[in-house]
Amino acid sequence: MAVTLNPLHLGQTSALPATPDEAVLDYVPNPRPGTLYLARFAVPEFTSLCPVTGQPDFAHLVIDYAPGETIVESKSLKLFLGSFRNHAGFHEDVTVGIGQRLFTEMQPRWLRIGGYWYPRGGIPIDVFWQSGAAPEGLWVPDQGVASYRGRG
């Protein structure tokens, strides 16, 4: 992973990557190095494809992380997540794969992802992954996404 002061996507015209593997995530220096804090990305309209039927699957993702030396640049994250619109994967693989890629490349002090998936076959599936125990002293708020209740 290369940390650059000149991100590939920020301020540039960028096409949506065809696949998650083709997506390039930009990481920039943490503006508050040495400070323990939590950053959150909420993605309420995430879409991927069912690997069996090819039909779209929808989720509300919440990504929380405590930055280390770098932070992920949000436009590159948006393009990476958007590339899943053409990607077929089970909920578990997609959710955990996003978390692991971010953790491996960005090397935050801590990261967790919650994937709150809308029903497939009548069953909502929620998937959670974290890199380990949260650092002592880190305020970790509830992700704020209620379990699926359907109508009413």
Residue numbers annotated as active site = 50, 57
CB 82 within 8 A of CB 16: yes
Q: Is-above-0.75 flag for pTM?
A: yes
Q: Three-state SS for 57?
A: strand
Q: How far is CA 117 from the centre of its chain?
A: 13
Fold annotation for 26-130? GTP Cyclohydrolase I, domain 2 (3.30.1130)
Q: Which of 89, 79, 109 lies closest to 10 in space, CA to CA?
A: 79
Q: Which of 126, 134, 133, 148 lies closest to 62 in space, CA to CA?
A: 126
Rounded CA-CA distance 67/30 in Å is: 7
Scanning the chain, the segments in alpha helix (DSSP H) are: 74-82, 91-106
Question: What confidence tens digit (pLDDT) does each residue in 36-75 have?
Answer: 999 999 999 999 999 999 999 999 999 999 999 999 999 9
Average pLDDT over every residue of 12-23: 90
Rounded CA-CA distance 152/148 in Å is: 11
Scanning 15-73, the segments in alpha helix (DSSP H) are: none
Q: Please, which pLDDT band fits residue 9 given cuts at 50, 70 and 90?
A: low
CB 30 within 8 A of CB 38: no
Give percent of the chain with pLDDT exceeding 70. 93
Q: Three-state SS for 92?
A: helix
CB 57 within 8 A of CB 50: yes
